[in-house]
A and B are shown apart, each in its own frame.
Chain A
């Protein structure tokens, strides 16, 4: 879906990306992980052409890109319905039902919980029928219930519409559970691109990247990453 070709980007003296090449697999969910301040949001802005690289290029086949941030501020009192109508004049009833927004349509966005607001915003971006959806820490401000609801719903809709999804996640277990592919951005300003299944076993690589000793706990039906 997106090809990154020898991409470099610096902020001041600080090199965030050094000659990075990678491919974002189409019709899959890719989780972008990496320690704080490593430049995950910057990489996203380079992918959406909000920032221009120092050198190298981003070749995108996406026709419509939608982006959802961790916190989306509204500047006018809008109801959920009014918000959704700003992204597309006719509302996708099925989508709204899936996101459990139907009973909330006429409520003021400001009166909703953080989790409900984020689901409404997911509706807002999905109504644009993007072929590439980028989510920047979409679950940071949500409680556990809404984190799971959000990611499960996203997974279902991705499968149904065959979107390409790139999302930044902090919780490694969530990242592995809900994605097919992993992009690991490291302090050495390079990017490791690997399928989730392969990356999962490289616990030393992850420990080093996050500067924390990690261990992999295998149970009969899942694998859990934990700090040692």
Chain B
């Protein structure tokens, strides 16, 4: 089950549609890192609304997607973490420190604009 990646201006939107295997998640990481460079994207939104479980592997992979795309010049925002999933993440001891999050896609795009501007100022 691969994840569709949409290009909207200088932003890439990866909207996860169903449960993902470890291999699907790694494929998403590779595709995003490649597309960010090829399409000169400045931002990435990962929509995880459809994920009913985020375990240590999924969280680690999302963290490494954010780190890899940042090295390729783009900021990442994770949107749609379900309330039950958020509770489970805390119990597991996992965090998404340093990664912007938002409740839904619309808010995520707003957050991304802020994060991208902040980064531009830092340069």
Mutual binders A and B? no
